[in-house]
Amino acid sequence: MSSIAAVVLAAGAGTRMKSAKPKVMHEVGGRPMISHLLGTVGELDPKKIVVVTSPNMETVQKEVAPAEIAVQKEALGTGHAVVAALDNLKGFEGDVLILYGDTPLIEAETLRQMIEKRRASESCAVVVLGFEPDDPLEYGRLVTDASGNLTAIVEFADANAEERAVGLCNSGVMAINGAHLADLIRAVDNKNAKGEYYLTDIVEIAIKNGLTCAYVKGEEEELLGVNNRSQLAEAEGIAQTRWRAAAKAEGATLIDPETVWFSHDTKLGRDVVIEPGVFFGPGVTVGDNVRIKAYSHLEGTTIGDAAQIGPFARLRPGADIASEVKIGNFVEVKKSQIETGAKVSHLSYIGDARIGAEANIGAGTITSYYEGYDKFKTDIGAGAFIGSNTALVAPVKVGDGAIIGAGSTVSKDVAADALGIERAEEKQKPGWAKRFRDVKKKAKK
């Protein structure tokens, strides 16, 4: 797979997405579509990647770095977009893949097959990636001869009845011999109804120049191009199906797979059990023998072996959960280290904190770390016990083995093995409640 370059066409504004964001920046599994594609291309170890954008697409250019950028100043067709990349490819004579930033699902093995097909014959200038959809609709058709060589790409509008009956359709993806690329592309003209330069014309041009063309078949789902929100949702569904299958194949149990949603980079250990309704945002790594209970939401977090999470837990970025930790129902953890064997079992918020090994955090506990301008840390020692309904006002430290009485607001450090308790004196006014009710009832008459 040596001597490969890739040209990724990403200049489309995505009008049908109804969005101010460039089309290729819309996400599948928490990652922009174009980054999925570049990740796949990266598996081929290309010598060069050139991304073609429109002017003022800084967000795309930043996302694809360190790929080279070529700017297509006018939207004059796919052939014109490739012309914009020719200066970046000057002197390169390996194989050039032409790809599209809105096709995030294409697989590396398919691209390898295209390169191998192109290299199988010295005369082969172009390999086109085709597919056979259940309904060909108005896709362009790949026309072949008796030997299986590709002879033409015919747009549906220009096809006759015989050509429209062909089930082999054009995906637009190509592998081109770089030694011929510039000559083929520059020979494309715009003598058509739209006045655009079509990349597909290079097949006919190559054959007229005594070269040959071929095709490789891919799967329909991997060639899905995303042009609107419905297709974006379809791409997400395909990706999720792949990731669920991979998770099960690697030793995770998904009790109700269709309700579990992964991110592109979710990492699961073995013998992980995932209950229904769990959502993984980007940046989650899960150790072995972990159980993630129903309807939990995780992102930017690491979970150690044999931990239990949820149900209805939320782990936010920076949550570092050690082995054998229990994070219970309606607990939220953000930017905190929860050390081995600690328990935060019910209805608590832990932010910007360290919870020591084997510490127990009672229901309704919160760490209050932000006063509107700065954030401060709460440090709870190993084996400490925090009573229910406690507010820990950072910066504050609770020593190893200390106990905090329920209902306390703790704003001063508590020494190791000490009891910390802060409660206002309880007062009672006999008969007050009855008098209050009587006044209210009388007022209603």
Catalytic pick among 26, 80, 180, 346: 346
What is the distance between the terminal CA atoms of the chain, rounded to a whole angstrom? 90
Q: Helix, strand, coil: what percent of the chain each, to 5?
A: 25, 30, 45
pLDDT in tens, 240-250: 999 999 999 99
Residue 195: what pLDDT? Answer: 87
**How many whole angstroms separate alpha carbon 142 and alpha carbon 219?**
15
Half-sphere exposure for 260 (CA within 13 Å, toward CB): 23
Residue 372: what pLDDT? Answer: 85
Q: Are strands 27-28 and 31-32 parallel, antiparallel or unpaired?
A: antiparallel
Residue 413: what pLDDT? Answer: 97
Identity of the amino acid at 43: E
Say if residues 360 and 342 touch (Cβ distance below 8 Å): yes
Active site residue 180: no
Burial (CB < 10 A; 0-12, 13-18, 19+), residue 5, is: buried
Residue 397: what pLDDT? Answer: 98
The label of the residue with tokens 């174009």 reads: 34
Say if residues 380 and 365 touch (Cβ distance below 8 Å): no
Reduced to 3 states (helix: H, G, I; strand: E, B; else coil), residue 426 is coil
Buried b (16+ CB within 10 A) or exposed e, 15-42: eebeeeebbbbbbbbbbbbbbbbbebbe
Q: Are strands 267-268 and 285-286 parallel, antiparallel or unpaired?
A: parallel
Could you report the average pLDDT of every consecutive run of 10 residues in the chain (445 residues)? Answer: 90 89 96 98 97 96 97 93 96 96 97 97 96 88 90 86 90 96 95 87 95 96 95 98 98 98 98 98 98 98 98 98 98 98 97 98 95 92 98 97 96 97 89 94 86
Strands (E), 65-116: 68-71, 95-100
User: Over 310-323, what HEC string results?
Assistant: CCCCEECCCEEECC
State the Cα angle at 302 between 300 and 266, rounded to 5°: 65
Residue 418: what pLDDT? Answer: 97
Tell me the domains of the chain and their CATH numbers. 4-223 (3.90.550.10), 229-420 (2.160.10.10)
Residue 1: what pLDDT? Answer: 59
